[in-house]
Amino acid sequence: MFIDKKNNPRRPLVTIVIPCYNQGHFLTRALKSINEQDYRPIQVLVIDDGSTEDVCLPEMNFDFELLLIRQKNNGLSSARNLGLEKAKGDWIKFLDADDVLLPNCLSDQVPGFCNNFNIVSVIGFIEENTENGHTISIIPAFGDAVEALFIANIAPIHCYLFPTELIRKTGGFDCTERTRGGCEDYDLMMNLLCENITFITVHAIGVVYYRYRDSMSCNITNMRRTHVSVWVNGVINLLASDFIFTPSQSSSLIAGWLKLLKITPNEFKTPLLELGDVISKLIFEKKIIPEVTEISLLKTKLSNFPEADGLLKAINLLYPLGYPSTFHIRDQAILDRRIFLSDSAKPFDEQWLCQVFSMIKNNSMSFAIYGGGEIGKRLFKLIDAVGLTPVCFIDKSFESMNCISDIPVLSLQTAKEMNIRLIVIASARYYQEISELLMKELSNTLII
């Protein structure tokens, strides 16, 4: 059955708010992109934020409600909030005057809500550098939105489609010193974490985001300061709520803190360091417990930052022993060719390598490497470089391999007869199941 996307009377109204300060020359392009939407009904509110020359609507015919509202210059957040106040739509999108929507944007996003007003929709975007014309297409890939937002903002603001009342409930966009200089949209997203909402991704490109040399998002100093303020405020609000952190969210929180610590100028670090003390205390109290398979990596990262000493001590008390980094990012988590192409360049965990070398040399052990693939071959090169030689490789595909650098590749059954005292597992993806198999078949053999 054919459905007229533009004129279906049962479709909910979507309000699009366009704040505009001295960007009237971009407005026609933005409005044309809305007019080309294959979705109706639409309400468009253009907010002139006290431009030095009054913003004027183009002399064009539009088949949607279009209003121009003027206010004194109060900033981007204030203009967006005025549009939020005047919006009549059940759903709302915020579009900056210098960006555009692609024709499929709303028709792809609206159906995903199914009248659920506790969902935020995110669609993919094209980012175009206006200086050199370089473009890149991005569809945000994330699982848990809490974990993702601890690391970075998920997408530009016009990628999102929100339930209008949800944004009103959170108070809209921040107009305080916290966001003076940018990150208003990131601040909103961090505040939404306290609302226990669901994020969904539409697997399509729906908007274009233009990056200009003089745009707010290119003012690095301002962005660094506001980034810290927004992130810290969002985390503090979440900690003050009844939100219970999972181990993976706890690890993401620490990773996000470290990422900010690394890029933040010293003059802006104070709130970040104060929050680090709070996180350390929560780890001591076991209210934040990182993912056990990531402990080794976290300790290594934390040890690189003197300011992270409190966090490192807290984690050492929680996990005094070293843990191998046994986790693996499954293909389905990030289906991206670049993960495969860069796989051979991934470094080994330093603590794990030191443990391998130490156990082999100090105990004069006969050892084998389980896994004759890329990781096994790289590991062999490192071990061979320090004068250590495995008895053999063990691999399910032993028949097709025969040997690697003159070292025989054997089946597990054959290797069981060779009095091997240590087996080093050279596989991240299948580490757990290989470990369980070896413990079952070779109960007296050390496994690392």
| 3-state secondary structure at position 160 | strand
- pLDDT for the residue 328: 59
pLDDT band at 4 (very low <50, low <70, confident <90, very high): very low
Tell me the two tokens of residue 27: 């407005």
Distance CA 99, CA 81 (A): 19
pLDDT value at 81 more than 70: yes
pLDDT value at 353 more than 80: yes
**Contact by Cβ (8 Å): 182, 164:** no
Given its phi and psi angles, is residue 22 left (phi above 0), alpha (psi -120 to 50 degrees) or beta?
left
CA atoms within a 13 Å half-sphere pointing along the CA-CB vector of 275: 25
Distance CA 15, CA 39 (A): 12
CATH code of the domain made up of 346-447: 3.40.50.720
Distance CA 97, CA 21 (A): 8
The backbone torsions φ and ψ at residue 208, rounded to the nearest 5 degrees and listed phi first, read -120, 130
Distance CA 357, CA 120 (A): 49
Domains of the chain, by residue range, sit at: 14-217, 244-318, 346-447
Tell me the two tokens of residue 375: 């990781």
Give start and end residues of each alpha helix (H) in 304-430. Answer: 309-318, 337-342, 350-362, 374-385, 398-401, 412-415
- pLDDT for the residue 8: 65
pLDDT value at 1 more than 60: no
- pLDDT for the residue 331: 63
The reply to whether 346-447 shares the fold of 14-217 is no
In tens, the pLDDT along 375-431 reads 888 889 988 888 888 999 999 888 878 889 899 999 999 988 888 889 999 887 677
CATH 3.30.43.10 fits 14-217, yes or no: no
Buried-exposed string 223-250: b where 16+ CB fall within 10 A, e elsewhere: bbbbbbbbbbbbbeebbeeeeebeebbb
In tens, the pLDDT along 274-331 reads 999 999 999 999 999 998 888 888 888 898 889 999 999 999 988 876 555 555 566 6
pLDDT band at 98 (very low <50, low <70, confident <90, very high): very high
Q: What is the pTM of this model?
A: 0.77
